[in-house]
Amino acid sequence: MAPLIHLENIVKFYGRICALDNVSLDMGPRITGLLGPNGAGKSTLIKVILGLVRINGGEGTVLGYRLGRDGREIRSQIGYLPEDDCYIPGMSGVEVVRFSACLAGLPPIEGLRRAHEILDFCGVQQERYRDIETYSSGMRQKIKFASSIVHDPKLLILDEPTSHLDPEEREDLLNRIRVLARDYNKSVILCTHILRDVQSTCDDVVILFRGQVKLHQSMEQLSLPSSPTTFVHFDGDPERFQRQLQRAGVDAVESSPDVLQLNGIDQDLIATVWRIANELGVVIQSITPARNSLEEVFMNTVREENHAH
């Protein structure tokens, strides 16, 4: 499958500061998390993808259109949710979304119809008729999200979409992103500092640091620990259970009072655990393969780079 975004040796300078340093990237039609510390070049990369800034070197395509030449076509197929407030005072929520639709080229009446439909999808109720200046930050965030999807774009670029949202609204928004990606084939670039959101939503992760791509992997690969490990959460005598497992040749160590950490992840190991638990009358509450936390991966990547410099 052709990559959705193909970047090759992209270089971007702001004066003498190198914001993007030979960035090469292929992003597929999935949900991709774009991570990086402040000043890593995430915003510049987004601007490059949107065709808003001129690049100093390299080439690429977005949705099949050439970077630097087809900016207008690219932007017509992208929905962008900026991190900043970006509102026009004096307009109601529904007017803002309708205006966004009209800016994308929808006819005014169709834009209004579509704005109401999308606001329903985003869970904005009667407050859509209120002046946007009276909205809370979370409400504005929802309006921005609605504005970014109102023209049914193929690619969504969401910059900190869950900031200012309460936990319930945050989960709702992430669910909407998942629905758009799963059921409507939208590709999403999720740029956030909330790593939990990336871990729970994204299929791929890109980590940028000092203008360079330091890591680009699928979430599945990234989550695998360096050595395969399984955690067994149980209810019973821990010493006896551990001893019996060790006798059966399983490398088991106590992780916490009711949790054993087993070295290995294969089916035979799991079968042995079930068998011994049955013999000893131990109640297995859960058997979970160990996963790397994204936070750990992110910190390791940044730390390694800091040491290298």
Partner 1 sequence: MPINNVGYRAWDGITRGALSRCLAIASTGIGITFKSQWIRRMLFVSWLPVAYVGIGFFFFEKYMDEQIRQTIQGLDTENKIDFERLRREAQQNIRPHEANQRIPPGDLRGALSLFPKSDVVIRSIMNDSPSVARHTTWCWMLMFFFQYPQGIMMIMMIGLIVPPLISRDLRSRAYLMYFSRPIGRLEYLLGKLAIPATFLAMITLIPAMTIYVFGVMLSPGFSVVLDTWDIPFRIVIASAVLIIPTSLLALMFSALTHESRFAAFAWLAVWGLGEGAYRAISAAQFDPRTLPSGEPVAQRITDWSFVSLFGTVGKAQTWVFGLESDPRAVIPFIIVLLSISVVAAFVLYRRVTAPINA
Contact letters (x/-) for partner 1, 118-137, by CB under 8 A? x-xx---x------------
Give whichever of 104 and 273 is closer to partner 1, judged by the CB atom: 104
Give whichever of 123 and 225 is closer to partner 1, judged by the CB atom: 123
* 94 Cβ neighbours under 8 A, 6+ residues apart: 112, 115, 116, 119, 128, 129
Give whichever of 104 and 250 is closer to partner 1, judged by the CB atom: 104
Query: In this structure, are residues 173 and 138 in contact, taking their beta carbons and an 8 Å threshold?
Result: no
Please, where are the H alpha helices in the chain? 42-50, 71-76, 93-103, 108-121, 137-149, 167-183, 195-201, 219-223, 238-247, 267-280, 294-308
Shortest distance, position 62 Cβ to partner 1, whole Å: 13
CA angle centred on 101, ends 95 and 107, rounded to 5°:
100
Give whichever of 61 and 100 is closer to partner 1, judged by the CB atom: 100
Give whichever of 58 and 153 is closer to partner 1, judged by the CB atom: 153
Give whichever of 126 and 226 is closer to partner 1, judged by the CB atom: 126
CA angle centred on 187, ends 185 and 190, rounded to 5°:
140
Work out whether the CA dihedral 117, 122, 128, 132 comes out positive or negative. negative
Work out whether the CA dihedral 199, 205, 206, 207 comes out positive or negative. positive
Which residue in 61, 141, 147, 187 binds partner 1 (CB under 8 A)? 147
Q: What's the CA gap between 153 and 141, in Å, rounded?
A: 18
Shortest distance, position 134 Cβ to partner 1, whole Å: 15
Contact letters (x/-) for partner 1, 62-91, by CB under 8 A? ----------xx-xx-x-x-x-xxxxxxxx
Shortest distance, position 130 Cβ to partner 1, whole Å: 14
Enter the tokens of residue 247: 């006798």
Q: What's the CA gap between 12 and 14, in Å, rounded?
A: 7
Q: Which residue in 290, 305, 289 sits closest to 215, CA to CA?
A: 305
Shortest distance, position 181 Cβ to partner 1, whole Å: 11
Of residues 185-244, those binding partner 1 (CB under 8 A): none
Count, residues near partner 1 per rule CB under 8 A: 46
Q: Which residue in 297, 213, 206, 290 sits closest to 255, CA to CA?
A: 290
Which residue in 62, 149, 232, 245 binds partner 1 (CB under 8 A)? 149
DSSP letter, residue 63: T
Contact letters (x/-) for partner 1, 13-52, by CB under 8 A? -x--------------------------------x--x-x
Residue ranges that bind partner 1, judged by CB under 8 A? 14, 47, 50, 52-53, 72-73, 75-76, 78, 80, 82, 84-91, 95, 99-100, 102-108, 110, 114, 117-118, 120-121, 125, 147, 149, 151-152, 176, 179-180, 183-184
